[in-house]
């Protein structure tokens, strides 16, 4: 049965023959039936009772005309404030700014999230930052942990080759910059905050997540009394300014006032405005110039001077901020790989360096979850306990017992390759099929994957918007916590939580990712 989608243009619902969003997620969940319908009580005071049963979040019972009004206001606000992406139906929208603009996919109203777990996620941010830095310095751990993956996954193999080359030439990264995002879901049964993954390269949406928070605060300032919601319960989100601050401080530590920051981008990028927001803050607040280059352009225009300075198109580069280079698609030829090696060999600050990039792989995540491994990098027992508390079950495919269990109960597992971005994971009965195929072939390809405990998160009512239309559904959300880390030799200059990203999707979806077309941008409503 098709979903009912409401178009703002004609103000009339129509029956869609397909699901409003392609099946999407980051991990996990089965759809749940709607709870008993509750009467709206906008005059009641803000309740901090479990939100799934709260009339304050009974979005399915909202008056249709009210939703239309809010949706219209949201679309106007998004257009005026740049909450925009390129429209994939318009040619050149991913390469020419201002061509084919459409509002970013978004949740019309914020999603409830318990304040206790919100604070836990924020407290974990600086601990994960320090963990990434320490693991990045342990070359033996990185190479040995990824050795089997290297044989099965060509992309990871190429990254490891670059890492090995930097070790051979004794390349030291004295200034180390991390713009990270740790993603979590809230387990419905235990109410535990569980980590999905840690992103160390191209952690996107610092700019647009900022705007969604502002949008939701604006909506509640106008309609909050009717909804029974308080805009002050949406936590502040200053991600774009904090990302810009970290980049600016790294630029300052490099100590070349004439140098620029280079953002490495994909040739087609419909999420370019999220990136341009960071550049705008760097220019307006810090008077720092940024340039945008693809990997191929870096290869054609780049050179390293004898002192290690990287020049691209005649400009000295102080900081390299990767918003590409995390997927095999970004390396269609040897030219792109040559560019990556060139940048790594330079003295420019890399965000991330090749070692930081490798720390963010799924295999390293799985290795760190093994008993006793965190103690190799962290001395503080309280910090270790906090990290372990958020870890899910993570296993290598060379564990025959867990593989057998996954074949018997595939619905309890997610099979994950060493890839970033949405659309890569394997779910449900496909897990069983994939594992049986690997067993039959008897190859080393199983080293390209890990198994992860499937999270079954809480779900709530939501109103999801895409392409000027809105749709009510049950939804699940994923909280991403941005963090910034800057170190120069032994001096830690910056290490803190730096804003957040909430992504929401229909609860029946498996894959996740806004850019991949599965999720919408959202914000947190603390309960």
Is 416 designated active site? yes
201 is in an annotated binding site: yes
Is 181 designated active site? yes
331 is in an annotated binding site: no
Which of 362, 363, 472, 487 is labelled catalytic?
362
Comparing C-alpha atoms, which of 482, 477, 483, 485 is closest to residue 25?
477
Is 421 designated active site? yes
Rounded Cα–Cα distance for residues 319 and 124 (Å): 26
Is 503 designated active site? yes
203 is in an annotated binding site: yes
Rounded Cα–Cα distance for residues 100 and 268 (Å): 13
Return the structure tokens found at 413: 């597992």
β strands within 63-103, DSSP E: 84-86, 101-103
Rounded Cα–Cα distance for residues 339 and 275 (Å): 21
β strands within 258-309, DSSP E: 260-264, 290-293, 302-304
401 is in an annotated binding site: no
417 is in an annotated binding site: yes
Rounded Cα–Cα distance for residues 465 and 106 (Å): 5
Which of 217, 416, 472, 474 is labelled catalytic?
416
Report yes or no: 32 and 459 within 8 Å, Cβ to Cβ. Answer: yes
453 is in an annotated binding site: yes
424 is in an annotated binding site: yes
CB within 8 Å of 331: residues ≥ 6 apart: 155, 158, 295, 325, 337, 340
Report yes or no: 420 and 364 within 8 Å, Cβ to Cβ. Answer: no
442 is in an annotated binding site: no
262 is in an annotated binding site: no
Which of 199, 241, 346, 498 is labelled catalytic?
199
H-type alpha helices, 137-205: 139-145, 147-152, 154-168
Report yes or no: 248 and 280 within 8 Å, Cβ to Cβ. Answer: no
326 is in an annotated binding site: yes
97 is in an annotated binding site: no
269 is in an annotated binding site: yes
Is 170 designated active site? no
415 is in an annotated binding site: no
416 is in an annotated binding site: yes
Which of 503, 507, 513, 523 is labelled catalytic?
503
Is 308 designated active site? no
Which of 100, 393, 421, 428 is labelled catalytic?
421
Which of 25, 129, 145, 204 is labelled catalytic?
204
Is 199 designated active site? yes
Which of 176, 181, 350, 472 is labelled catalytic?
181
- List, as residue ranges, the binding site for Mg(2+): 197, 199, 420
Where in the sequence numbering do the catalytic residues fall? 181, 197, 199, 204, 362, 416, 420-421, 503
- List, as residue ranges, the binding site: 181, 197, 199, 201-204, 269-271, 275, 323-326, 362, 416-425, 427, 452-455, 478, 503, 505, 511, 514-515
- List, as residue ranges, the binding site for substrate: 181, 201-204, 269-271, 275, 323-326, 503, 514-515
- List, as residue ranges, the binding site for ATP: 197, 362, 416-425, 427, 452-455, 478, 505, 511
């Amino acid at each position: 049965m098709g979903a009912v989608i409401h178009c703002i243009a004609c103000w009339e619902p129509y029956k869609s023959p397909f699901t409003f969003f392609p099946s999407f997620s980051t991990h996990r969940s089965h759809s749940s039936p709607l709870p008993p319908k509750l009467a709206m009580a906008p005059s009641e005071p803000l309740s901090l009772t479990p939100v799934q049963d709260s009339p304050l979040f009974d979005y399915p019972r909202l008056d249709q005309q009210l939703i239309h009004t809010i949706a219209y206001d949201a679309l106007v606000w998004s257009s005026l404030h740049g909450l925009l992406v390129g429209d994939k139906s318009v040619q050149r929208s991913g390469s020419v700014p201002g061509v084919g603009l459409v509002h970013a996919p978004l949740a019309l109203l914020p999603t409830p999230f318990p304040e206790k777990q919100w604070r836990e996620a924020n407290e974990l941010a600086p601990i994960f930052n320090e963990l990434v830095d320490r693991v990045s310095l342990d070359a033996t751990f990185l190479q040995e942990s990824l050795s089997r993956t290297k044989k099965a996954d060509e992309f990871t193999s190429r990254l490891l080759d670059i890492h090995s080359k930097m070790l051979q030439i004794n390349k030291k990264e004295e200034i180390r910059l991390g713009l990270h995002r740790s993603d979590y879901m809230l387990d419905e049964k235990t109410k535990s905050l569980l980590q999905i993954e840690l992103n160390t390269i191209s952690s996107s949406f610092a700019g647009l997540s900022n705007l969604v928070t502002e949008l939701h605060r604006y909506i509640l300032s106008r309609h909050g009394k009717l909804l029974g919601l308080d805009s002050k319960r949406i936590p502040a989100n200053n991600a774009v300014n904090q990302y810009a601050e970290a980049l600016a401080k790294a630029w300052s530590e490099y100590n070349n006032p004439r140098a620029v920051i280079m953002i490495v981008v994909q040739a087609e990028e419909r999420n370019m405005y999220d990136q341009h927001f960071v550049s705008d803050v760097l220019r307006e607040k810090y008077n720092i110039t940024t340039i945008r280059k693809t990997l191929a352009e870096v290869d054609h225009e780049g050179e390293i001077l004898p002192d290690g300075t990287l020049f691209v198109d005649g400009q000295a580069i102080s900081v390299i901020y990767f918003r590409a280079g995390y997927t095999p698609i970004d390396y269609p030829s040897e030219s792109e790989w040559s560019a990556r090696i060139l940048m790594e060999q330079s003295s420019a600050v890399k965000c991330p360096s090749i070692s930081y990039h490798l720390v963010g792989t799924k295999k390293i995540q799985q290795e760190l979850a093994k008993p006793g491994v965190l103690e190799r990098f962290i001395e503080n027992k309280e910090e270790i306990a906090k990290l372990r508390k958020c870890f899910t079950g993570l296993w290598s495919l060379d564990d025959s017992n867990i593989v057998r269990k996954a074949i018997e109960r595939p619905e309890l597992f997610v099979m994950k390759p060493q890839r970033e971005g949405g659309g890569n994971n394997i779910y449900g009965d496909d897990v069983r099929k994939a594992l049986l195929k690997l067993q039959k072939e008897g190859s080393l390809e199983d080293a390209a994957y890990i198994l992860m405990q499937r999270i079954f998160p809480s779900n709530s009512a939501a109103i999801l918007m895409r392409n000027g239309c809105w749709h009510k559904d049950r939804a699940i959300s994923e909280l991403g916590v941005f963090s910034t880390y800057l170190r120069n030799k032994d001096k830690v200059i910056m290490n803190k939580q730096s804003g957040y990203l909430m992504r929401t999707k229909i609860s029946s979806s498996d894959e996740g990712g806004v850019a991949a077309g599965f999720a919408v941008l959202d914000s947190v409503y603390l309960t």
